[in-house]
Amino acid sequence: MNSARFQQILRRTVMLPVLGLLLLSGIFVWQIHRLTVAMYALDYSDQVATNVSKLLRYSIDEETGLRGYQATADPQFLQPYFDSGSKIAGEISTLRSLLARNPDQLARLQRLEQTRQAWEAFAQKVLQLKHSGGDANNLELNLQGKAVMDEMRERANGIYEAEIALRNARSSAAQHFSNVITLSSLIVALIFGALLGIYTRFQLHNVSAAFDNSLKQSRLRAEELDESRQWLQTTLASIGDAVITCDAEGRVDFMNAVAEQLCGWTNQQARHLPLETVFHIQNEYTRQVVENPVTKVRRMKTVVGLANHTILVSRDGTEYNIDDSGAPIRAADGEIAGIVLIFRDITEQRKSQEAIFANEKLALAGRLAASIAHEIHNPLDSVANLLYLLARDPSPQEAANYISLARQELSRVTQISRTMLSLYREPRSPIPIDMKDVLESALLLLDRKIKDLGVTVVTDLQAVLAEGFPAELRQVFANLIGNAAEATGPDGTVRITLHPLAADENPALPLGGSIVHISDDGPGIPENIRTRLFTPFFTTKAEQGTGLGLWISNGLVEKHNGRMEFVSDTSPENHGTTFTVLLPTRMVPIAPLLSPSPPKS
Amino acid sequence: MSNNFPRLVLCVDDEKVGLVVRRILLEANGYRVLTAEGGIQALQLFDEHPIDAVILDYSMPGMDGAEVAAEMRLRRPATPILLLSAYVTLPDEVVQLVDLCLTKGDGAPILLDTLAQLFNDQRPREASV
């Protein structure tokens, strides 16, 4: 049952009784009107009866007056006679108007008037006889007068009785009508009330069922909600990653067990504290405080990952390498309702990765050893020969030439051994590096290989400063240049360019830095293996390669907050591959200062 | 025997300084020397001159020592070839192609002795062919 239907039922349940009451009161108003009309009719009949009674009394007075004068001849007796005569005329005229709408009674009244005129004619005759001294007491005349008077009284009585009968009939009709209306109203009201009761009961039953139903559903929903909450809590608690959820203001709302362990705070302790208090992160190398991911999410309003090389400092001072991401929790209106932060202890992973890196560095040295031995043996051979020649008493001029040649060759040995050694020596923290030096020393390491392969190297190098670990970058470029030389093969050309990169010139490096292109005109990288190029243990060189070179190079470039990309073309007319390495001027960007005041919402 | 009729040795190496020093050394020890900085030039000289022995570098751009030696064997199989390499170990099939192998940096006396040995071994080799 929806809200509209419920409203409709409510309306009906209220409106039906109101309508019923209105109908009943209409009936009563009508009944009262009818009764009033009946009352008027009764009043009217009463008035007619009264008038007729008065008329009869006045006739008696008139007759008495006449009889008195007849007996005494005293004109005093005539006074009531005259008075009554005019009163009777008044009553008759009143009656005429009263009975105007009743033809039967009007006919009776006319007949009464006729007898009345007959009696008046008799009275005039008696008065005339008395006055003229005639025989006023003539029996026959007086009997005739009495008969007229009797008839008149009878007629008046006839009017009276007819009126009374009419009144009684009206009265009983009104009574009957009133009874019928009262009874029928009562019955209608009872039936209506009963129907209304049944209907209301039915509707209320419906409403109650619907209410019960919705109550049951909401209870069910509450149970489901509780259950899904339990599910989520259990999922979050048992997940292997650390999870912290924050409200929109960046205060901790929930921490799972892994997060508790890594941060050193319990869920209870951390609740409602600002995230930066609980989740304290620094850059691995510079120890600068890193921008809080929650602040970043609120700023960028999107999913963010942490900067590389982030260290989480636990409450007890333990440090963990972590890898994390933050994501906004959006409410239905799209506003940020909270932030969920997921991170993972990658300390072990980092250690094993570093071990593989170190291993590969040694392996690289091993692979280079043969060519380095070669580089050392060549000048050594010349030096040995020159020493032999010097021992055989050359002319001073020849000796000077031999010594100069020997020095030249010895300096070559020194240079090679230094380059070789610098593969191992590494500063503890990033230092400023001239990228040109790095590329040139990588080329020196590969000199023999390049010569053996018969590859031409064309360079266009500008001095550009970067920051980082020089041997690692040398390793990266030795790897890339070596790959390029192998790919292009005999008579091929490898082009190496190094240029400064202005800020905003490349979106991958918004603050600028340096850009290195290493291009070969080899066959290009087949499309189906391009995506696997940076994955470990992937190699196309079978026994000759470990499959770690590009993976490690990419890792080292990322460590320097740089970026490695490549484009490749396998078409017959335009084949070749270009690797691009972007390196920032500063390895570690300055973290934005955290505002000490709580964020305003 | 060689003093009256000096032997002609062809030195092949892409290392310019090494080549110059080797020439001085051999000439000081009574050899006539021709030098080539690459395989193509070496084969050309090999065709044009009556070369008595070849001192061949292994690692060279374009054509390596093994290729040059194989080519020379095709043209004049009897000419002795000494493979002089900066690499300590060389593939067996390369070693089998040449008469003798030496590692660079072993010193001038060993080079001169080895070269002399090459000429001493030449006679039975010629006879066997």
A495 shares a domain with A568: yes
A375: chain B residues, CB-CB within 8 Å: 86
SS3 annotation, A354-420:
HHHHHHHHHHHHHHHHHHHHHHHHHHHHHHHHHHHHHHCCCCHHHHHHHHHHHHHHHHHHHHHHHHH
Nearest C-alpha of chain A: how many angstroms from B62? 5
Residue A230 lies in a domain: no
Binding-site residues on chain B for chain A (CB distance < 8 A): 14-15, 17-18, 20-22, 24-25, 28, 59-62, 64, 84, 86-88, 103-109, 111
A363 shares a domain with A294: no
CATH number of the domain where residue A119 is located:
1.20.120.1730
Residue A220 lies in a domain: no
Rg of chain B over Cα atoms, rounded to whole angstroms, equals: 13
B54-105 per-position pLDDT tens digit: 999 988 877 888 899 999 999 999 899 999 888 777 888 888 888 888 888 8
pLDDT category at A330 given cuts 50, 70, 90 is: confident
Residue A318 lies in a domain: yes
The position carrying tokens 């030795």 is: A478
Q: Determine the pLDDT at residue B10.
A: 95
The position carrying tokens 């997921």 is: A342
A162 shares a domain with A56: yes
Q: In whole angstroms, how far apart are CA A361 and each of A340, A413, A421, A479, B44?
A: 39, 22, 12, 11, 44
Q: Residue A5: which residues within 8 A CB-CB, separation 6 or more? A: none
**Quick check: A550 pLDDT over 50?**
yes
Note whether B18 contacts A451, CB cutoff 8 Å: no
A-B contacts (CB, under 8 Å)? 76
- Picking from B24, B90, B94 by the largest number of A CB atoms within 10 A of its own CB, the best residue to mutate is B24
A506 shares a domain with A437: yes
Cα distance between residue A497 and residue A460, in whole Å:
5
A529 shares a domain with A433: yes
Residue A218 lies in a domain: no
pLDDT category at A601 given cuts 50, 70, 90 is: very low
- Amino acid in position A196: L
Nearest C-alpha of chain B: how many angstroms from A567? 28
Q: Determine the pLDDT at residue A1.
A: 67
Note whether A378 contacts B111, CB cutoff 8 Å: no
Q: Domain range spanning residue A265?
A: 239-345
Cα distance between residue A195 and residue A237, in whole Å:
61
Note whether B104 contacts A386, CB cutoff 8 Å: no
**Quick check: B8 pLDDT over 60?**
yes
A385 shares a domain with A323: no
Weakest-pLDDT range from A504-508, A536-540, B60-64, B102-106? A536-540
A58 shares a domain with A194: yes
Q: Determine the pLDDT at residue B126.
A: 42
Cα distance between residue B87 and residue B68, in whole Å:
17
Q: Which two tokens stand for residue A181?
A: 């209306």
Residue A232 lies in a domain: no
Among B111, B35, B82, B15, CA closest to A375: B15
A62-98 per-position pLDDT tens digit: 888 888 888 888 888 888 888 888 888 888 899 888 8
**Quick check: A292 pLDDT over 80?**
no
Q: Which of A425, A440, A471 finishes a domain?
A: A425
Q: Is the ipTM of this structure higher than 0.95? A: no
Shortest CB distance from B87 goes to which of A370, A405, A490? A370
Cα distance between residue A295 and residue A600, in whole Å:
12
Q: Determine the pLDDT at residue A221.
A: 93
A600 shares a domain with A517: yes
Domains in chain A: how many in total? 4
A359 shares a domain with A330: no
A317 shares a domain with A381: no
Burial A547-571 (b: 16+ CB within 10 A, else e): ebbbbbbbbbbebbbbbbebebeee
Query: What average pLDDT does range B98-118 have in this prediction?
Result: 88
Cα distance between residue B36 and residue A312, in whole Å:
64
Query: What average pLDDT does range A503-526 have in this prediction?
Result: 84
Q: Determine the pLDDT at residue A424.
A: 61
A380: chain B residues, CB-CB within 8 Å: 104-105
Cα distance between residue B26 and residue B10, in whole Å:
11
Task: Enumerate residues 320 to 379 of chain A having a beta carbon within 8 A of any beta carbon in chain B.
Answer: 370, 373-379
Cα distance between residue A493 and residue A459, in whole Å:
10
A453 shares a domain with A411: no
Residue A223 lies in a domain: no
Note whether A389 contacts B64, CB cutoff 8 Å: no
Q: In whole angstroms, how far apart are CA B6 and each of A349, A364, B9, B73?
A: 69, 47, 9, 23
Residue A224 lies in a domain: no
Shortest CB distance from B105 goes to which of A380, A389, A454? A380
**Quick check: A332 pLDDT over 80?**
no
Q: Which of A328, A345, A362 finishes a domain?
A: A345
Among A562, A385, A591, A575, CA closest to A477: A562
Q: Which of A391, A407, A425 finishes a domain?
A: A425
Using the Cβ of A388 and the Cβ atoms of chain B, whether some distance falls under 8 Å is answered with: yes
Query: What 8-state DSSP symbol labels residue A248?
Result: T
A378 shares a domain with A315: no
Nearest C-alpha of chain A: how many angstroms from B129? 34
CATH number of the domain where residue A284 is located:
3.30.450.20
A158-209 per-position pLDDT tens digit: 888 888 888 888 888 888 888 888 888 888 888 888 988 888 888 888 888 8
Q: Determine the pLDDT at residue B125.
A: 43
**Quick check: A544 pLDDT over 70?**
no
Burial A98-119 (b: 16+ CB within 10 A, else e): bbeebeebbebbeebbebbebb
Shortest CB distance from B59 goes to which of A386, A405, A448? A448
Q: Which residue does chain B place closest to A409, by CA atoms?
A: B17
CATH number of the domain where residue A385 is located:
1.10.287
Q: Determine the pLDDT at residue A529.
A: 81
Q: Determine the pLDDT at residue A543.
A: 59
Q: A346 and A306 in contact (C-beta within 8 Å)?
A: no
**Quick check: A57 pLDDT over 50?**
yes
Residue A22 lies in a domain: yes
A513-520 vs A280-283, strand pairing mode: unpaired
Average pLDDT, chain A: 84
A492: chain B residues, CB-CB within 8 Å: none
Q: Which residue does chain B place closest to A381, by CA atoms?
A: B105
